[in-house]
Amino acid sequence: MFLRYWPPGMLVFAVIVLTGSGRGAVFYGVLFALCGLVSARYLPWRFAVVDEGIALWFPFGRRMFLPKEAVTIRVGSGSPVAYPEVFRRWGYPLTDGLVERRRSLLRAVLVEHGFRVA
């Protein structure tokens, strides 16, 4: 849930900073707004693994579906990352919060559903 409320919170904080007076109010307000928008764009707060692919939910109502044939999952020491075939360098982390506690269970579910796991 943290990833769901972090980007809107950053935007609210940016507005608070921008309304204040000070030397760096505009710079830090824009910085917080950019951080909130970038994290809202690339960090899903929820995901679901189904037989057809992976559904991702992002803050501000954006949703995305990654078909099983067009995604590769990399599981390393951190949280698993889904790499769409279209964007090979950029992936979407599959996490349930700040720290992934059930990485081995998620890997087993992905293999069971037939995803390419690297």
Domain ranges of the chain: 2-41, 44-117
At residue 96, the pLDDT reads 64
- Helix (H), strand (E) at residue 105: helix 103-112
How large is the average pLDDT for residues 79-83?
Answer: 87
Q: What percent of the chain has pLDDT over 90?
A: 36
pLDDT tens digit sequence for 33-56? 999 999 898 889 889 999 999 999
For domain 44-117, the CATH architecture is: Roll (2.30)
- Give the pTM: 0.81
Q: Residue 104: is its pLDDT beyond 80?
A: no
Among candidate residues 82, 51, 37, the one with its CA nearest the CA of residue 64 = 82
At residue 100, the pLDDT reads 62
| Banded model confidence at residue 99, pLDDT cuts 50, 70, 90 | low
- Taking residue 11's Cβ as centre, other Cβ atoms within 10 Å add up to 19
- Alpha-carbon gap, residue 118 to 116, rounded angstroms: 7
Is residue 49 within 8 Å of residue 110, measured between CB atoms? yes
- Helix (H), strand (E) at residue 2: helix 2-19
Is residue 70 within 8 Å of residue 86, measured between CB atoms? yes
